[in-house]
Amino acid sequence: MTKTFLIAGAAGGLGRQLVELALRAGNNVLAADLVPEAVPTPAGHGDRLRVCAVDVTSGDAARAAVQSALGEFGGLDVLVNSVGQRIVGSIEDMPEDEFHRSMEINFFGAVNMVRAALPVMRKQRSGRIVNVSTIGGRRAQPGLAAYQSAKWALGGFTEILARELEPVGVHATLIEPGGIRTPWATAPIPMPALHDEYDATVANFVRTYNDNPDVQRGDPAKMAQVILRLVEEPRPPVRLLLGSDAAWLAPLIAQARAGEDDAWREVTLSTDLDGLADFAATPVAQLVRP
């Protein structure tokens, strides 16, 4: 069945591939980007492709994009948030406005688009939301504090979103790719201005990342194909890792965090009020358990 996609970040590597594959599969696509002239417009798809400008940091612009999808195609079935901006620098040295701007684009941009789409999907009691994150949303890479902090937030937001929408018939999934072979990802990172003390952490990351083919292993066309599959799945995952690097890193990150939790468990348990029942046996525990 033909679906209507709204793809934010349609000019980027993954977004561009998704536009082309969604059209090839017979779907309608509203391709939205801050630079709409950079969006691909493959021939032969007639009235099934529309392009619009959107600044995802604006709630009004996000709502206008959703209204454009409704006006052009009469509905909205799939929202894909594939907008991203990567800036590198130490937490201390990064200009305050750049840090804030990164959070606005990488986190609040997706929030704005989701909030704009929800009234439509809630009323029709169907829809799919795909937020594109990164395995970096689980990591803690020196130099990427602004970018990865936003992606950490996007992960939590998407998990809560999925739980809120469960009774409504709308599904939300967080895509967590490893490195992707796109022009955005492969572009050299300029060495930021840093205090000398951050040479071994932030500057070393930049030196290791640049010109390293093992950093960008993922095929954006294959990842776009996975997204097309996800929007057809009756029970899609809330989180989905993409890429062998992501699959390798995720359990190591989880194990390291669990190990630290276990090492400090005695201290953790010592801070409860005296005389309380085991928390796991309380009704509250059943309410908040994953």
Q: Which residues are identified as catalytic?
A: 133, 147, 151
- How far is 127 from 124, CA to CA, in rounded Å? 8
Region of 74 please: left (phi>0), alpha (psi -120 to 50) or beta. Answer: left
- How far is 187 from 181, CA to CA, in rounded Å? 10
The gap from C-alpha 193 to its chain's centroid, in whole angstroms, comes to: 28
Q: How far is CA 73 from CA 35, 67, 70, 119, 189, in A?
A: 22, 10, 5, 17, 40
Residue 8, beta-bridge partner list: 32, 81
Query: Which residue, 239, 194, 211, 229, is CA-closest to 88?
Result: 194
Asked if 90 and 17 count as a contact pair (C-beta separation under 8 A), the reply is: no
- How far is 167 from 170, CA to CA, in rounded Å? 8
Helix (H) or strand (E) run with residue 171 in it? strand 170-177
Helix (H) or strand (E) run with residue 288 in it? helix 283-288
* Helices 59-73/109-124 angle, 10° precision: 40
- How far is 87 from 193, CA to CA, in rounded Å? 12
Q: Is 275 helix (H, G, I), strand (E, B) or coil?
A: coil
Q: Which two tokens stand for residue 290?
A: 């994953």
Report which DSSP code applies to 12: S
- How far is 191 from 214, CA to CA, in rounded Å? 20
